[in-house]
Amino acid sequence: MILEPIPEFEPIHISSYCLGDIEIKMVKVNDAYVVLQLNKKEKTGKSILCLGYEHADYVMEGCINQILPWIN
């Protein structure tokens, strides 16, 4: 068996939203979309693999709506 090298995939930044120390990003890696929620102050984060752009947009909107009450 011959092993083929796997090409590295660079994430493509689609959109982001920053509120205080919290940043929410949507990136595309190969054919998948990932929504990232990062806390810069605590240096923690979460990621959600999404089915497509519409799903990623829905998840990102939900993350933004979740953090808005914390800041206000």
> pLDDT tens-digit profile of 36-62?
999 999 999 999 999 899 999 999 999
User: Is 5 among the domain residues?
Assistant: no
pLDDT greater than 80 at residue 12: yes
Mean predicted confidence (pLDDT) in 1-5:
60
Q: What is the pLDDT of residue 46?
A: 92
More confident residue, 68 or 16: 16
Tell the residue number behind the tokens 């929620």, with chain if given. Answer: 37
User: Is 18 among the domain residues?
Assistant: yes
**Interval 60-72: pLDDT, tens:** 999 999 887 765 5
User: Is 39 among the domain residues?
Assistant: yes
Q: Which domain holds residue 55?
A: 12-71
**Residue 49: closest CA among 66, 63, 36:** 36
- Around Cβ 37, how many Cβ atoms within 10 Å? 20
What is the count of structural domains for the chain? 1
